[in-house]
Amino acid sequence: MNKIGIIVDNDSPKSLAMAMNLGHTALASDTEVLVYFTFDGLSHLLEGEMDVSEIEPLLEAGMPNPYDMLDAFVADGGDLVTTVACTTTLDMLEWNQEAINDDVTTKFAGAATFLEEVETADQVFTF
């Protein structure tokens, strides 16, 4: 089985959309996907309504909402999907794990765990 890693370290919904597009494409090819949310990217996993005003013109032009894409990615991906909330970033920002949306977060771990898990990945992408 093929495997890719994706690092999301940017809080832009556009970056999340690119990561989710790649993730969905990989799933369509039966490729395992590990997505590591760290630094500003961790904000995509927070509970509550997400601000998509930055990409409103893209949404109006027909681009799917990246947060809907994230929901579907986790819900439909099954065992092929792992989404990781960086525990080091949580500690640095003094955020509680309860602030993270369990519906789209499958694991809490630090960089060492991510590196171990992507050791067998064919490629790692960053958004």
Q: What CATH number is given to the structural domain containing 117?
A: 3.40.1260.10
Contact assessment for residue 33 and residue 82, using Cβ atoms and an 8 Å cutoff = yes
Q: What is the pLDDT of residue 1?
A: 62
Domain span at 75: 3-126
Record the pTM: 0.95
- What is the block-wise mean pLDDT of the chain (127 residues), using blocks of 10 residues? 94 97 97 97 96 96 97 97 97 94 97 94 96
Across the beta sheet with 81-86, what order do the strands follow? 107-109, 81-86, 32-37, 3-8, 123-126
Domain count, the chain: 1
